[in-house]
Structures are given as structure tokens and as C-alpha cells.
Amino acid sequence: MSANRGQFGSKFGFIMAAAGSAVGLGNIWRFPYVVGQNGGGAFVFVYIVCVVLIGLPLIYNEVALGRMTARNTVGAFKSTGANKFWIYTGAVLALCVSFFVLSYYGVIAGWTIGYIISEFTDFISNFETFRSSPGYVIPFFAVFMLASVAIVLGGISGGIEKASKILMPVLFVLLFAVMFRSLTLDGAMEGVKYYLTPDFTKINGRVILSALGQAFFSLSVGWGILITYGSYLPKDQNIVSSGAWIGVMDTAVAFFSGLMIFPAVFAFGKNPSEGTALVFNVLPEIFNSLPAGGQIVGASFFLLLCVAALTSSISMIEVPGSYLIDEKKWNRKKASWVVGILAFLVGIPSALSGGSSEFFTSMSLNLFGETKTGFLDIMDALFGGLFIVIVALMTCLYTGWVINIKTVSNEIEQGSLFFSRPLVAGITPAQIWIFFIRFVCPLVIGLVLLSTVGII
Ligand code: PHE
């Protein structure tokens, strides 16, 4: 193991950093709009089932694989004897996912910076106009990427851990404040009903795939991030409870974001299924409706959204970054700068795809019968949707069937002794977990993938 790797200083720090990675635009921006596009309550129900049955076992799997090998994503596969096929489909693809998502994630995070400033200067009159002004969008994107690189440069316990420990709790407080306002608006109950009453007839293959994809996006499963963070986790730490905390916090933030957005959507007569612009159109209205202090609340909220994005983007830099540090022997500084600058350059077409460039705005891709228009949306569908699900499937097939899964479950047991003690009828949590990794997770993910591709 190279000496310059670093470690998390405490359990709280690890949970905050991992939850900081998990909680991001995925929860506050992506979750509400995907709920809106998939019919409300029914989607929320399927989503929670996906998190518990598929997401959680995969969190344990990735964290344990990382800690067991103490390596970056590619290193974790290599050092357990993976051949080229598994290295490419499980690890290299994960690096690509992190890198390419980072490239457009930074663009969206840049919008939040614009909205922070606009609370005081009102320079954004509407979302569409703002989004199509390269003079705003690109500099904000650049500022965001610079901030991310700066934090990663600080290293594991000094940079990533310290930032997350402070920023995450602040985020919770603000989220609750805005949710409270939204719930007390006139007509809020309609939105609560839409959000919380599942209409089971709305569940179909697409809804399940969206829920699964959203769960992996949000939990940071299938990106190599949990392998990477797991590799910085000391052996005496409890993977089972830390993982459960990450899952609970991430799901709570997504859930409360919905409870913040939908009452307002209905109170202001907006369309819940309008897509990516949803949050950016609805939130400013909530802030304007405040009797006093709307600007302060609004600016703090967009600041929070930006911060949530920041604790996620730093982990996306860390995945390819740690690969370059471990495998290519680069130093942290060089690796972080190179990843950050390249992601910025690759992200420019996404930044221009909101109307500035006709070419990038109108390009379209037909992905299994669904047409995605605009460079950013295409990247999100490919890297933020399809490829994450493939990486998650490959990682779980790899630990379940290619290497000895016992070694992974022994790793989980270290620091969480009850994992191998009988629970009921002589069955241990370890056995249940192994059953999920070998059978339930790959079968469900595989079937959902096959049905999206149109094979079944
Ligand atoms: N989970 C983050 C979100 O919800 C995205 C992310 C995934 C960040 C993987 C880092 C690594 O926004």
C-alpha cells in the first residue's frame, strides 16, 4: 500500500464523507423531478423498496471490497485477481461513470451558484433564459470545479472529511426549514397526497428501472466511490451500521426534498412532470412567498444545494484521482488538477446544451425507444443511468461468483461481529447478505436491464 493514501480519522467523519458523497443534486434536484415524471407516490414506494433490497447489500459489498484491498477501484479488482473483462466492466467503466457524470454535474451545480447570487440581484428572470446564457453558465461552472479541486487537494482527513463534517449537518437544518414553509402554504395538502399516495397501477418496467437507476445514482452505488472511500476506512469500523446510516440519511434527504417540492408545486399550480427544470422553477417561488427574509432563506438554500453538490463532486474527483495516485504514482496535487480540468473541458458541451449552442442543444439519441435531447440529458441517460446499473451488476457478479464471497463477508464481519451470529433459525445476517449478492441483486438488476433493452 502506498504511504500517501491517508485514512478517515473517525467513524463520524467517514459516515459524513460517504453521506456527503451520497447526498447531492441526486436527492434534491434529480429525485423530485424523476418522481414527477413517474407518477408520484407509486414511484416513491418502488424507490424505497429498491434502496432497501438492492441498494443496501451493494453498499456493504463495495465498502467491504475497498477496505479489504485498501486500493482504488481498479486496484481492488486487480489485487483480487480479476481478468481484463472484469477490470473493464467493473472498474474502468466505474471510473468513466464518475468522470463523465462529474463533467455535467458541475454544470448543474454551477446553476445553483447563479441562483444564490440572483436572490440578491435578481439577474435571473427565468430558468430557460439563464440556462442558455454561456456568459453566466460557464464561469459559474468553472468556479464550482475550482472549489471542488481545492477541497480534494486537502487530502482525506484534512480536506474531504473536515468539509463534510461541517457541511452535512448544516444542510439538514436548512432542508427542514424550507420544507416547513412549503408544507404550510395554502393548497399544500394536494401535493402531499400526490407524493405519498401510491397508485399501484402506475408501476411498470420503466418505473422500476427509473427507481433502480435513481437509487444507484443517489446512494453512489456503481461508481467505484464506495470502494474508494471503503479503502480509507480503518479495520475496526463497523461497515454494517455505517452503511445503514448512509442509506438512511440519503433516503431521508431525498424523501424530505420531495416533501419540500411537491406541496409547493401544487400550491403554485405548477406541473409536477415538467422534468429537469422543476426544482429551479419551484424553489424561487417558495422563497418569494415568504412574508419576510425570503432572500436570505433562498440564498442559504441554494448555497446548501451547492454545498451538497460539492461534497458529491469531490468524491467523483477522488475515484479517478485515487486511481492515478495508486496505480500511476502521481501525487495528489497533479491527479486532482488533471481530473478537475479535464472534466471541466469535457463538460463544456453540457454547459452549452441549454440553448447556447444549437448543435449541442438539439442533438438527440434514441436509447431503447426513449429519445433524449441535448448533450447534458444524453450524458445523464448514458452515464448517470445505464452505465451505473451495468457497473453495479458487474461488481455484484464479480464478488458473488468470481472471487470467494466468504472473504468479503469476513471483511464485513471485522468491526461488526454480530454479522456472523445466528439471527433466527440458525441463519446469520452474513448468509442473508451472501444470498442477496449472489442471487437477488443480480437477478433483479439483470431482468430490469434486459427489459429496458427490449429483450424481454
Ligand atoms: N450520489 C450523488 C448524488 O445523489 C452523486 C454521486 C455519485 C456523487 C457517486 C459521487 C459519487 O448527487
For 304-348, how does the pLDDT look when each residue is reduced to its tens digit (9 = 90+)? Answer: 889 889 889 988 998 888 889 888 999 989 999 999 999 999 999
What is the pLDDT, as a whole number, of residue 301? 84
DSSP-derived 3-state class of residue 427? strand
Over residues 21-41, the pLDDT tens digits come to 899 999 999 999 999 989 899
Over residues 345-379, the pLDDT tens digits come to 999 999 999 999 999 999 999 877 778 899 998 99
The cell 456493504 sits on which residue? 60
* Cell numbers describing residue 212: 433502480
Q: Which of 217, 253, 313, 379 to mutate to test the pocket of ligand 1 (most atoms within 8 A of CB)?
A: 217
* Cell numbers describing residue 355: 440553448
DSSP-derived 3-state class of residue 424? strand
Whether the pLDDT of residue 2 is over 50: the answer is no
74 located within any domain: yes
What is the pLDDT, as a whole number, of residue 101? 95
Judge residue 446's burial from the number of C-beta atoms within 10 Å of its C-beta, 0-12 exposed, 13-18 middle, 19 or more buried. middle
Please tell me which of 222-226, 265-269, 294-298 the model is most confident about, judged by mean pLDDT. 265-269
Whether the pLDDT of residue 3 is over 50: the answer is no
What is the pLDDT, as a whole number, of residue 173? 87
435 located within any domain: no
Q: How far is CA 347 from the centre of its chain?
A: 18
454 located within any domain: no
Q: Which of 151, 307, 310, 315 to mutate to test the pocket of ligand 1 (most atoms within 8 A of CB)?
A: 315
The string of DSSP codes covering 354-390 is TTT-HHHHH-EEEETTEEEESHHHHHHHIIIIIIHHH
Phi-psi region of 425 (alpha: psi -120 to 50; beta: other; left: phi over 0): left
What is the pLDDT, as a whole number, of residue 157? 64
What is the pLDDT, as a whole number, of residue 77? 95
439 located within any domain: no
Over residues 413-444, the pLDDT tens digits come to 998 888 989 988 899 999 999 999 999 999 99
What is the pLDDT, as a whole number, of residue 364? 93
> Is residue 222 within 8 Å of 389, Cβ to Cβ?
yes
Q: How far is the CA of 138 from the centre of ligand 1 (A)?
A: 22
What is the pLDDT, as a whole number, of residue 156? 65
Strand partners, 367: 370
Lowest mean pLDDT among 196-200, 404-408, 423-427, 436-440: 423-427
396 located within any domain: no
Torsion of CA 11, 15, 17, 18, to 10 degrees: 130
Q: Where are the alpha helices (DSSP H) in 184-277?
A: 188-196, 205-219, 225-230, 239-267
315 located within any domain: yes
What are φ and ψ of residue 139, in 5° steps?
A: -60, -40
Whether the pLDDT of residue 11 is over 90: the answer is no
Higher pLDDT, 7 or 441: 441
Q: Which of 225, 276, 322 to mutate to test the pocket of ligand 1 (most atoms within 8 A of CB)?
A: 225
Higher pLDDT, 4 or 25: 25
Decide whether any atom of ligand 1 lies within 6 Å of the 316 Cβ: yes
Question: Residue 288 — very low, low, confident or very high, per pLDDT cuts 50/70/90?
Answer: confident
Q: How far is the CA of 287 from the centre of ligand 1 (A)?
A: 26
Over residues 51-75, the pLDDT tens digits come to 999 999 999 999 999 999 998 889 9
Report the first-to-last Cα separation within the chain, whole angstroms: 45
Single pTM value for the model: 0.90
Q: How many domains does the chain have?
A: 1
Over residues 133-189, the pLDDT tens digits come to 999 999 999 999 999 998 888 766 666 677 777 777 778 888 898 899 899 999 999
> Is residue 257 within 8 Å of 28, Cβ to Cβ?
yes
The contacts found for 199-202 with CB under 8 angstroms, 24 or more apart, are 199/39, 199/40, 199/41, 199/42, 200/42, 200/45, 201/42, 202/38, 202/39, 202/40, 202/42, 202/43
Whether the pLDDT of residue 121 is over 60: the answer is yes
98 located within any domain: yes
Strand partners, 365: 372
Mean pLDDT of the chain: 90
Q: Which atom of ligand 1 is nearest to the CA of 97?
A: 9
Which distant-in-sequence residues (6+ apart) come within 8 Å of 91 by Cβ? 73, 74, 76, 77, 78, 82, 224
Which distant-in-sequence residues (6+ apart) come within 8 Å of 81 by Cβ? 403
CATH number where 43 lies: 1.10.4160
Q: How far is the CA of 449 from the centre of ligand 1 (A)?
A: 21
398 located within any domain: no
Query: Residue 255 is part of which domain span?
Result: 2-391
